[in-house]
Amino acid sequence: MRKRTWTVIIATIGILLLLELSFILWGRSKTTTDAYKISSLHKSITGCEIIPKSFSLSNKTSQQGKNNSDKTSDVSFPSYEETIRAEEDSISVVNNPTSVLVMVNKQRKLPDNYIPPKLVIPNVRFSFNEIVEKRYLREVAAVPLEKMFKQAEEEGYILYGVSGYRSYNRQIAVFKMHEQELGEEKAREVSSVPGSSEHQTGLSIDISSESAKFLLSTEFGSTPEGKWVKENAHKFGFIIRYPEDKTKITGYSFEPWHIRYVGIQHATYLYKHNLALEEAIK
C-alpha cells in the first residue's frame, strides 16, 4: 500500500514535470499568437508566467528605439531609391517626408510646402526669447531633446536651442537673402535650396552654448558642451548630421551644432560605425 502511494506520487510529479516542460517549449514556439496563448493558459493554471520567446522578441524590437541603445545588430535603413517619389529640376523628391529616417540633402528634397506633423515647442533653454517658428520641433524629436538637455545639465553642460523648425516659406526667404548677398552659386553652398533644408523636416535643431557665444560656429565643436553632444547625442536618438570627416559625402561643411533626430537605435548605429546618413541610406 505504501509502495503504491509512492508510485502514484512519483508518477504525478513526473507527469507535472513533463507538462511544465511542454508548456515551456510550446510557450517558446515561433508563432507569436500561439506562444502567447500557451503562455496565458499556463498562467491561468499555475499562476506563473512563461515569457513567450517570440512575443518578448517582438516586444524588444519595438522598444529598442526607446530603451536599448546597444542592440544595433538588426538596424536597417530604407534604400535611396525606394524613398524617392519623383525628379524635379534634377533634384529628387522624397516619398517619406514624415519618416524619422527621411534623408534630404542637395540631391533630395521634401515635397513643396511640406509641413511636418505635431510641431511643438520643446521645454529647453533657447538663445532668444521670442516665440517664433524656429523654436518648434516635431514632438517625436522634442521629447528626446528635452531629455538630452536635462542629462547634459545634470553633468554640468548647459545647452541652448538656436534654430529648430524652418518652414518652406522661411527657407525661401533665407535662401533669397543669401543669394542677393553672395550670388546663387555661393548661396547654394552656405544655405539649402528651399525644400532641401533638414530644418523643414522638424527633426533638426541647431544648438550652441554660452562658451561658444551662442553662435553656430565650428568652435562649438571644441567647447566642453560641443564635445559632450558629440559623444552623447546618439543616446537620445540624435546624430551630428554634418561631421567633420564626411563633408564630401554630406555635401555640407562641418556643422557640430546641427543635430538631427533619427531614433536611438539608428543614431547609435551611425555613431558606432562612424557613418553619415548618406552612407547608410544607399
133 among known catalytic residues: no
Residue nearer to Zn ion on the CB measure, 42 or 258: 258
Provide the minimum distance between the beta carbon of 147 and Zn ion in the complex, in angstroms, as a whole number.
20
Contacts of 121 (CB under 8 A, 6+ apart): 131, 135, 136, 137, 142
Residue nearer to Zn ion on the CB measure, 72 or 198: 198
Provide the minimum distance between the beta carbon of 236 and Zn ion in the complex, in angstroms, as a whole number.
17
Neighbours of 53 (CB within 10 A): 16
Residue nearer to Zn ion on the CB measure, 206 or 225: 206
Residue with cell string 535650396: 193
Indicate left, alpha or beta for 171 from its phi (over 0: left) and psi (-120 to 50: alpha): alpha
Residues that bind Zn ion (CB under 5 A): 206, 258
Residue nearer to Zn ion on the CB measure, 20 or 219: 219
What would you measure as the largest C-alpha separation in the chain, in angstroms? 105
Distance, CA of 241 to CA of 101 (rounded, Å)? 12
Distance, CA of 177 to CA of 183 (rounded, Å)? 10
Provide the minimum distance between the beta carbon of 162 and Zn ion in the complex, in angstroms, as a whole number.
9
Provide the minimum distance between the beta carbon of 170 and Zn ion in the complex, in angstroms, as a whole number.
13
Q: List the catalytic residue out of 155, 255, 278, 279.
A: 255
Give catalytic residues, as residue numbers.
255
